[in-house]
Structure 1
């Protein structure tokens, strides 16, 4: 077993052991005694949302490995804890993480409900927070904070990008299908900011539905220009299959945001997924050297496709490295670190990423289509840029104003597929500890 495989096995073992046994594992920190930068990752690694959380964590680890386990010549230690998809658990593991580890930065890869439960505790700790998943809207507006940076792709950005695609393709009549939740209403509001067509109807199937005969009959009867699916998980998979089986795919385009059509999900959809349109802040064929290296190294290590979630974790680690290089690793100089984070002086796998004054991302949103690659596997093909320079609309509600110009000129975007490239050499695995304490016992050193 190679060094990388041994390291990863150690991570999994540490995660499953009680604190005393986990503490007895070999300490991966160098004996040289150099200061260590500690990154806490609070993620959903089991239960609902685990696919995204694990991908985001593994994206972080991939970047740290590529950097040789060091930021600005200081060793990096990653400590991950699992909220199990529960806000209550999220608060408990966050409190214990902050008590047990002297973290310099925290990355969050949890649901909006879990984020709402832990944000005050994190802000009170005065650590810098890099968010990798959707956050409550107020944190982008009146509730913005100098310690919080968001690297996720906000859901409203995806819906606004879909609206831009509908406008560009002159699609005037739309059927929307989504869960009976506030998220569907939010999606409709965002869609209408960039598209002025008619939503013919909004179909809201019962939770857990496995068949969609009534909904498909309605689609056929109404004859829209497109169908926008907000269904995810098992419901999303079943709807895609039924939509294709009903013969509608050849007549009516099916569109969806990236979270319902990430590459690991496409295999289960098989032929039904072909030609579906989707939007994201990333595409696997973006012509960026950093994107090609990420794909080569990640897929060699984990034997699964890179997703938008992986990219968000990967970008977060590269952002921290850029900030540490700019400040010579001085994690205690909060103003210098904050300014360096705001500059976002690194090459993103997404092509471009900057921050607005509310420390929310400015992104390009891409239109993609499900196709087969040269090996016959389902993948996503770049069709073009849906929104070149998306900004969060809550900027004006945030009281933060920057005293210096920190936004670098955006790098040019190339809406052309990348050519295959050989894998770049992978650095040795970094010192990483993945040992969240169990909730039913005290932490012991």
Structure 2
């Protein structure tokens, strides 16, 4: 069921005390688009508000609300109406849910989803209908590959990206025998491919030798890992690269420690989602785990410091990468609408403004590739006292392959 939220000036002003101060949040340019002064901008979110990924959907939405509040809940001189629809991270429902937002709710912007399987169906409809779309999490490589379109943007990552730098790190450190273990669906498979590509490139550059001794796919969203952990223990690799998130990541890390693997000499690594936003639930089991991601709690830049403080004050919890991606999704929408003074009919100018955006993000510098995928730094992080602390930049300004993308 969808949930509509009308933002009001009174509510926005109430939030501004907590939200003011991130990035360039000066007063917006007065609109010259007459209709924009009458009609609200309808933004539909197709995100998980229940189930395994509910916390991710909440973080994305919270950060969007915060960013919009910083502009007094106005975009291009128009008020905002947010229509929330629970995706349930369920691909079979994706077509129906997307159609509801686009055709029934007639949203101006579509934002979502988290799950790559949902994203595939959503992107196909967005392409057909031409609705402006920003993807704040789902990393399906196809979205900025064969399914790319002028109206589709991503504020997160491609699934290939977070794995690539971890592969390079392990190769450069001389890890010779590596296992990959991941949820066996699109996101996990593409993440593992990124890792393998990075590992191969790292071996070439260092002149080292190494191999992926085993790939272990776990059915999504299965969280029974005992047989997998037994297999890894028997293989005795130097390191394991994983792709799990949310509740599954909590379970895997705790089971890893309980099985005695934490002290076995086998290093557990992964895409940053393994420990992102869940270290408190993982507790001591997460200590020392290294991951690579385009964001980290301890990034030492002024925008991130203010962003985290504002998010904490507004929502009573810590921000994470999902919140950053939601915040930057809202910023992309703002840039597009401000460029055309709220005129949704000025599609070409809006797309151009979003394509050329250079965002001073909490994650660091952010721009978009020709396929509308983020070009961004990826950081090597280590869980230290429950925090994903930055060790260094693993790969700077990493772009993702976009085979099959044609914007024609």
User: Normalising to structure 1: TM-score of the pair?
Assistant: 0.75
Question: Which of these residues, 374, 383, 391, is aligned with residue 391 of structure 2?
Answer: 383
C-alpha separation between the residues in 2 aligned to 1:65 and 1:30? 9
The question of whether the paired residues in 2 share the 8 Å contact of 1:56 and 1:109 is answered with: no
C-alpha separation between the residues in 2 aligned to 1:105 and 1:206? 33
- 1:306 and 2:314 are equivalent in the alignment: no
- 1:256 and 2:264 are equivalent in the alignment: no
Q: 1:72 to 1:380 in 2, by over 3 A?
A: same
In the TM superposition, structure 1's runs of 4+ consecutive aligned residues that sit over 6 Å from their partners are none
C-alpha separation between the residues in 2 aligned to 1:80 and 1:350? 26
Quote the residue 1:236 is aligned against: 249
Unpaired runs of 5+ residues, structure 2, are: 11-35, 201-209
The question of whether the paired residues in 1 share the 8 Å contact of 2:225 and 2:255 is answered with: yes
Q: 1:144 to 1:298 in 2, by over 3 A?
A: same
Q: Structure 2 matches for 1:251-400, cutoff 5 A?
A: 251-263=265-277, 265-372=278-385, 378-395=386-403, 397-400=404-407
Deviations 1:227-274 (A, max 9, x none): 2233445553333223324443242321011222112x2122111110
Deviations 1:149-187 (A, max 9, x none): 111222210111211221232222212233455655433
How many residue pairs match? The answer is 372
The question of whether the paired residues in 1 share the 8 Å contact of 2:53 and 2:246 is answered with: no
Quote the residue 2:116 is aligned against: 112
Q: State the shift of 1:136 in Å.
A: 4.0
C-alpha separation between the residues in 2 aligned to 1:112 and 1:206? 15
C-alpha separation between the residues in 2 aligned to 1:160 and 1:211? 24
C-alpha separation between the residues in 1 aligned to 2:122 and 2:95? 5
Q: State the shift of 1:216 in Å.
A: 4.3
Q: Structure 2 matches for 1:61-76, cutoff 5 A?
A: 61-76=65-80
Unpaired runs of 5+ residues, structure 1, are: 1-11, 16-21, 373-377, 402-445
Quote the residue 1:42 is aligned against: 46
Q: State the shift of 1:209 in Å.
A: 5.1
Quote the residue 1:195 is aligned against: 199
C-alpha separation between the residues in 1 aligned to 2:186 and 2:329? 29
Question: Which of these residues, 81, 88, 94, is aligned with residue 85 of structure 2?
Answer: 81
Q: State the shift of 1:205 in Å.
A: 5.8
User: Normalising to structure 2: TM-score of the pair?
Assistant: 0.82
The question of whether the paired residues in 2 share the 8 Å contact of 1:107 and 1:129 is answered with: yes
Q: 1:286 to 1:223 in 2, by over 3 A?
A: same
| CA RMSD of superposed structures (Å) | 2.8
Q: 1:183 to 1:60 in 2, by over 3 A?
A: closer
